[in-house]
Amino acid sequence: MLCLAVGLYTLMGSLTAQTWKPDPDQQTGYATYYADRYHGRQTAYGEVYDRTAYTCASQAFPKNTLLRVTRLDNQKTVVVRVNDRGPWGNDKNVIDLSYVAAERIDMIRAGRVRVRVDKIGTSSANPAPPDAITRKSAPRRSRAGLPTAASREVSPPVAPPKRTTNTPNTTTRAEDGLSWISGNHNAYGVQIAAYTDRENAVRQTQKWQDQGIADLYIWQESAKAFKIIAGKYAGRTQAEQKLAFLRKQYELEGFVKKY
Q: Which residue has the higher pLDDT, 132 or 60?
A: 60
Please tell me if the domain spanning 24-122 has the same topology as the one spanning 168-258.
Answer: no
Q: Has this prediction a pTM greater than 0.85? A: no
Confidence of residue 69 (pLDDT cuts 50, 70, 90): very high
CATH code for residues 24-122: 2.40.40.10
Any idea what the Cα angle at residue 53 is, between residues 102 and 193, rounded to 5°? 50
Q: For the chain, give every domain's residue range.
A: 24-122, 168-258
Quick one: pLDDT at residue 172? 67
* Per-residue pLDDT reduced to its tens digit, 142-169: 444 444 444 344 444 444 444 443 334 4
What homologous superfamily is domain 168-258 in, according to CATH?
Answer: Sporulation related repeat (3.30.70.1070)
Beta carbons within 8 Å of 226's beta carbon, 6+ residues apart: 194, 195, 196, 197, 198, 200, 201, 218, 219, 220
Query: How many CB atoms neighbour CB 57 within 10 A?
Result: 26
Beta strands in 199-254 (DSSP E): 216-222, 225-233
Q: Which residue has the higher pLDDT, 249 or 74?
A: 74
Under 8 Å between Cβ of 166 and 137: no
**Closest of 79, 67, 80 to residue 28, by C-alpha:** 67
pLDDT at 103 over 50: yes
